[in-house]
Structure 1
Amino acid sequence: MGMRRKTECRRLNLATNRTSIKKLEMRNKLILVCILLLVALAIYLIYLMSKAAQEEKFKDQHVVVDYTYNQALARQMHTDAVASDGVKWSKADRSQINRYLHPEPFYHHSEQKYQFLNLRKPQGISAGKLDELLRGKGILEGQGAVFRDAAHESDLNEIYLISHAQLETSKGVSELAKGLKVNDKGQLDPQGKTYYNFFGVGAFDYNAVAEGAKYAQQHGWDTPEKAIKGGAEFIAEEYLSRDNQYTLYSMRFNPVDPGRHQYATDVMWAHHNARQMAKYYKQMGIEGKFYTRHHYKK
């Protein structure tokens, strides 16, 4: 009898221990599930906060600058602004600058509204779709994947990047686009190495081809891919990263500080780019989002 009672006690204790272990395991599992749920909730909250911050960054904005329109126009008159009559370039006169500097007629124009598009956001367009935009565009053809990667690496709009490259290279057939041979001193030289420049970076008007080739050589743009990515990086760092120069209009006319740190001298530069961008957005059946419109003070 004594042995039987001891055996039953052992069995009872063993069963009790097993039950306790199961309860402990169950409790630990519940704790783990709670921890995972809390982590998931924290990640979701961080995502929502990040999304809200992005939406705040890219929402439509209206910025009033510290210059009146007439003050801005006067300052633009002292720049090296040029205009083309389709045959030759000449210094832009007051009426030509006034026509393209005045932003209000363009704010809601079906094409020219793209002068005010925030360019600091990639559109997530596939390389294949971008290749469609580049078909028949000289040396730029087939570079869709490079433009896509450049846009993501530098945080800028790939449609703008392609439009800009086409404008600067006459649709991929300019001298700088096809590549020029440059020696180690940055001089054009038939015996030198070939360099490319797709965005007119460093191509100053007094000797655009030679200066643009020199800049490309100094920055190692010896392949089309390097020229695309290098140009995108330059634009992002020197313009789009600034608080007030991330639209075509502000890159060209810099309303916050008129006449200074402007991307181009052509008074129609923003106009031409906007028209090309509008064409591409329409071709792909999408609309640009998030605009920043600068207003001159009254």
Structure 2
Amino acid sequence: MSSSFRLGESTIRSILKDVCNAIIKTMKGKFMPTPTTEDWKRIADGFNKKWNYPNCIGAIDGKHVNIIAPPSSGSLFFNYKKHFSIVLMAVVDDKYRFIAVDIGAYGKNSDGGILASSRLGRAIEMNTFNIPTDTPLPGTEIIMPHVFVADEAFPLKRNLLRPYPRSSGISEKERIYNNRLSRARRVVENAFGILYQKFGIYNKNLHLHPKYVDIVVFATCILHNVMRCYNIPSDDEVNTRQSSANNDDEQRLLSNLSTIPEDISESSASAFETRDMFATYFQSPEGRVPWQHLI
């Protein structure tokens, strides 16, 4: 761009930062707002209808964004793929749109560790994310929580489900559960694929300081949602949504998360039971799909 427009590289960098910050400031509230309870319910309905996974409100995964090694950073950004990177951690809905993102973690860290230490992960664990209350699975009276789905890199929690481990062999019920979870979870992989296809900057190592990489990645995530949004809300709708939220709800969501409630360990203890109940439901007449035994 510097040679094309005959501008200095420092000028181009300054313009880049200004444009990305403007995109984030003016478009985040419209295209990546903090979800309300009704938003989660619509997402859960979409996952059930499209991907055959009830009570699912999002798929979570991390994506490495390759960068040039920052000065004096040692091995902090050096990942298991032998590249330097920062991590884009994202929650994606049933329509491949980013619901929430956490950007900038060191490339050397694992997905599960990044989520656990992020404000996003703590908000999910502490239930300060406007997640709906437990509801019955379709066609039954079995009360189950609303859950996020993830791969083996993430811990098993009551509202964060991962597949059964395959290392020691699995039963037919566990195999079917893993396939159903994978069917819902792949939306986040597809969202990353669409993002990388649309924005050519991801096809090379970004030669920017990590803090500037963060705003570039955030801006592309918002623009991705713009391209995936077919019913663009008006400014009046956005203002009404923000004014109807609880007092500084978004700030409450992403701050003051240092205190973990006492019932967290109890919730973790019921994670295995939650996964088993979903697996059993997928075997029942109400929860099975015709093709699940053919895979």
TM-score by shorter chain over 0.5: no
Instruction: Give the structure-2-normalised TM-score.
Output: 0.25
Instruction: Give the structure-1-normalised TM-score.
Output: 0.25
Q: Radius of gyration: which is bigger?
A: 1
- Between Structure 1 and Structure 2, which shows a larger proportion of helix residues? 1
